[in-house]
Structure 1
Amino acid sequence: MRNQTNILLIYTGGTIGMVKDYDSGTLKPFNFKKLLKNIPELAQLDCSIESVSFKKPIDSSNMNPKYWVELATIIEKHYESYDGFVVLHGSDTMSYTASAMSFMLENLSKPVIFTGSQLPIGDLRTDAKENLITSIQIAALRENNKPVIQEVGLYFEYKLYRANRTTKINAEHFEAFASLNYPALAESGVHLKVNEAYLNRSKRTKKFCVHKKLDNNVAVLKIFPGLNKSLLSSILDTEGLKAVVLETYGAGNAPTDEWFLQALDRAIKNGLHIVNVTQCSGGGVSMGQYETSERLEKMQIINGKDITTEAAITKLMYLLGSGVSSKLLKTIFETSLRGEMS
């Protein structure tokens, strides 16, 4: 008979870790050491839960690669001691952090589940309790003595998504996230239903490895009607810039003005990596389908396919930080590494 499943709760910051002081009305950090006392329902889960917090919890608006490395290091340090991890994070940048983790944690064979909430844990109508309880339950799921989930997931409002497929779509509704190009990995209703066909399964032949070198000399450029030459040049000519995520229209379309195309072509010839992603919430890039994307394809712009902007920017930071050669970067980017693109 197997011992209890051990789950590590990692609090980085965010609304889910706050409780309201009813006397003053202000929010104060929740004491995770008293988790079971405040959420007695957790005792019904057949698992042992321990917690660790960032020394100074941060608002997710202040999240950056330095904190991603700190988070990855915590997971690395405790990887062998725990069966699963639940990361509590502010919702605003959760998709960025969770996407980054998917690339930084190579050969992952245990669940790393991100969750958060729109309302603090002590609020009357909070979504925090359900998100937290179900995230822990998902992280503890086992079949044949192995974790059911073996990848980085994001759980919010009754659905578990592949983390690097998510985008925050709503600032007010409890249903804050969507994964428009990939189905939910699990859904929580009366029963917890896992969609096994959509899971990433670890081929446990390779050792778990954590990548801590990220290169943030990257930018996101959203095309819009009226984008002018000087603005485009000022971004493409930024000193030290190595890669740009170009958010284009529809299926990867962009203006056909000669000055625009020449500026992109010159930047690529000067060694800048440009990734074409769609600004649409769902769907992807299909370069060459229309005349407005034919030239982009010919100048060897990287095809982002159906990747999200969050996954594209973090994948670039990871690849550039890993020292991938300029010649190989296009090929590797266009290959799905962690299920982030179709």
Structure 2
Amino acid sequence: MQTNILLIYTGGTIGMVKDFDTGALRAFNFDKLLKRIPELSHLNCNINTVSFENPIDSSNMNPGYWVQIVEIIEENYEDYDGFVVLHGSDTMSYTASALSFMLENLAKPVIFTGSQLPIGDLRTDAKENLITSIEIASLKKNNKPVIREVCLYFEYKLYRANRTTKINAEHFQAFASLNYPPLAESGVHLKVNHEYLLKPTRKKLKVHKNMEANIALVKLFPGINEATISCLLLNPATEAVILESYGAGNAPTEKWFEEVLKKAVNSGKIIINVTQCSGGSVLMGQYETSSHLKKIGLINGKDITTEAAVAKLLYLLGNNIQRKVFKTIYETSLRGEMV
């Protein structure tokens, strides 16, 4: 039986082809996908395409566009077995992480992919990424989808979307999931690591569209001063702050720094402590330089990526989670985004 796959093009390099007469890039017509990539005819699936009316560079991505993608999936959810989202690589981890929270009780695959080179280039990575993403979205066992979560596929590896971060702007291996193993690996054979997949749910899909973005992202650095920290943490318009601390969640122990944090928390602001390291976890209280953060009441981001930390924060704020339970919910894994 054929599977039905919906390809959603939002923008990005993967949707561009080079005009070899002029050297200029132009948008690829996805309605002629099989003509450009005849290998897709070997897959036992029916592929339909839909595109943003005005495809965007992923640097312009924002929560409003996340809602557009979610609504396309919501409107077509019953008619398709899986979804492949084509997206620029720069903010792909943010968007894919956001959708993992916006699509609660997801029971079908939503695979994000893109490329470092346009689809028409001689050495492009676009074809392999696209073909394998569609193949993965088509996988079934006992007539049910094998993948039932939001994922990101790039350069022979399938990752849980909310565990990824972009690590390289030039190499084909542009993404990594340093705190969680790949869900699948593509070689001579397509190997699915079933033990790492999210457990399937029988609950009905619940779509969340409210994402509250009145937040700040603060990265600590040696020499950061009180004026800068106060401006960011005590801004009346800022509801919550993600603090990228050092190592295992460490920060300066200077009195002024502690006082600014206390003032922010006492005024009702939410502060999430995440590590600025690509891998590893926040362990507040392990060192003296993080014990004060724990006492003040910062939320432990554990091993969450910054991209997922942002997405999860916007999602919880958008759902008006009460402050008295916010810390407990944030520190709980909702979509496999943290330990």
TM-score normalized by the length of structure 1: 0.99
Q: Return the offset for 1:212.
A: 0.3
Pick aligned residue for 1:25 from 1, 23, 26: 23
1:168 aligned residue: 166
Amino acid at match of 1:303: N
Deviations 1:165-200 (A, max 9, x none): 000000000000000000000000000000000000
Pick aligned residue for 1:222 from 219, 223, 230: 219
Q: Return the offset for 1:286.
A: 0.3
Q: Return the offset for 1:300.
A: 1.2
C-alpha distance in structure 2 between counterparts of 1:12 and 1:218, whole Å: 25
1:49 corresponds to 2:47: yes
2:13 aligned residue: 15
Show the 5 A alignment for 1:1-342: 3-204=1-202, 206-342=203-339
C-alpha distance in structure 2 between counterparts of 1:124 and 1:219, whole Å: 41
Deviations 1:177-232 (A, max 9, x none): 0000000000000000000000002221x210110001000111000000000000
The alignment of Structure 1 onto Structure 2 pairs a total of residues equal to 339
* Partner SS, residue 64 of structure 2: helix
- Of all paired residues, the percent bearing the same amino acid is 71
Q: Return the offset for 1:307.
A: 0.1
* Partner SS, residue 327 of structure 1: helix
* Partner SS, residue 275 of structure 1: strand
Q: For the Cα contact (< 8 Å) 2:108–2:149, is it kept in 1? A: yes
Q: Return the offset for 1:317.
A: 0.3
C-alpha distance in structure 1 between counterparts of 2:259 and 2:92, whole Å: 36
C-alpha distance in structure 2 between counterparts of 1:265 and 1:68, whole Å: 34
The runs of at least 4 aligned residues of structure 1 exceeding 2 Å deviation read none
Mean Cα displacement is larger for which, 332-341 or 234-243? Answer: 234-243
* Partner SS, residue 332 of structure 2: coil
* Partner SS, residue 85 of structure 1: strand
* Partner SS, residue 247 of structure 1: strand
Deviations 1:60-111 (A, max 9, x none): 0000000001110000000000000000000000000000000000000000
Q: For the Cα contact (< 8 Å) 2:106–2:201, is it kept in 1? A: no
* Partner SS, residue 108 of structure 2: coil
Amino acid at match of 2:148: Q
C-alpha distance in structure 1 between counterparts of 2:208 and 2:237, whole Å: 22
Amino acid at match of 2:50: V
Aligned-residue RMSD, C-alpha: 0.5
TM-score normalized by the length of structure 2: 0.99
